[in-house]
Amino acid sequence: MMNKHSPKFTLLLLLAFIAACQAPFKTDDDKSDDPITTQDSLGPSGITRAIQQDKQGNIWIASWEGIFKYDGNYFTHITSEVSLSRFFSVLADSKGTFWFGSIGSGAYYYDGNSFRNYISNDGLANDSVHFIYEAKSGHVWFATQGGVSFYDGTSFHSFTTQDGLADNDVIAVAEDNNGIIWIGTNAGISLYDGITFTDFTTEQGLSFQNVRSIITDMNGDVWIGGQRGLWRYDGITLSNISTQFVGYIYEDNQGNIWASSVGALGWEVIRYDKNPLFQASLTATKIWASGDMVFGISKDSTGMLWFGTLHGVCQYDGMTVNCLNRD
């Protein structure tokens, strides 16, 4: 049975409806006005392994909780409905698409709308991917726990110790200015010229054990970090910069070299300024020291330095370090 309302009650309902229609409607574009207060909006709170900025200025973060994107105001958990795997690596490639490396679930390709998962059955050397790197050719290289692979856009090509690789536990990949691919493993460094593998050792013939990071700087010098410390190779001379364990190396757009290292007080973030890089003795500036491990290091287009830790990400603005998701 339908109830009949009085004219006064009907008028009140009409006024309430009009007020509701005039109330502000919050869209995704309004996220920049919202304070970041929840744990999810602060990004990962656990182990954070890699950080990279894309061409649009977004920060992409690989963590044990998944892949996060930071747009300058808000964090979005990209893989929350795709995979529960731990992620170690992220690559924003030259085509504007993305690759994510997981531990146990292979590599994920993301075009901004959909995902495609590649595993060992597709030709990937191993389903645990430590690092992803794009060569000048456009080939995407994958450092895995069971060898190294590159993807040419159609298929994977994989290599192991049977092909001449120093060790199957691969951690780092980089390309020098001569097109040589440097492959850092747990037992040494292999150089790949497109045909064969050769070992790269110290002048004493010692292998570079537990290599964690390799980069080529804007001058063409190759930097190596790992169990034997920090090294620089200019194509002729191999120089030992530090004997402390080095986990990650990064060059900013000013040419400064940043490294995470183990010192007397625990893990440190160290900067080597560009100006004295060619001097015999380099002065290291310690930016941050903590018992917390330091992983991927990257600078964004605003000059903010980002680095990962056991408890999420930290930022360095040139004056102070601010670690998110910390009490």
* Buried b / exposed e along 177-201 (16+ C-beta atoms within 10 A): eeebbbbbbbbbbbbbeeeebeebe
Answer yes or no: are the C-beta atoms of 98 and 92 closer than 8 Å. yes
Task: Indicate the pTM of the whole model.
Answer: 0.86
CA distances from 232 to 92, 219, 224, 237, 322 (A): 26, 11, 6, 8, 30
Cα(208)–Cα(190) distance, integer angstroms: 10
Q: Give pLDDT tens digits along the chain (327 positions).
A: 334 444 443 334 333 333 333 333 222 333 333 333 333 567 899 999 999 999 999 999 999 999 999 999 899 999 999 999 999 999 999 999 999 999 999 999 999 999 999 999 999 999 999 999 999 999 999 999 999 999 999 999 999 999 999 999 999 999 999 999 999 999 999 999 999 999 999 999 999 999 999 999 999 999 999 999 999 999 999 999 999 999 999 999 999 999 999 988 799 999 998 765 555 556 789 999 988 899 999 999 999 999 999 999 999 999 999 998 765
Answer yes or no: are the C-beta atoms of 93 and 134 closer than 8 Å. yes
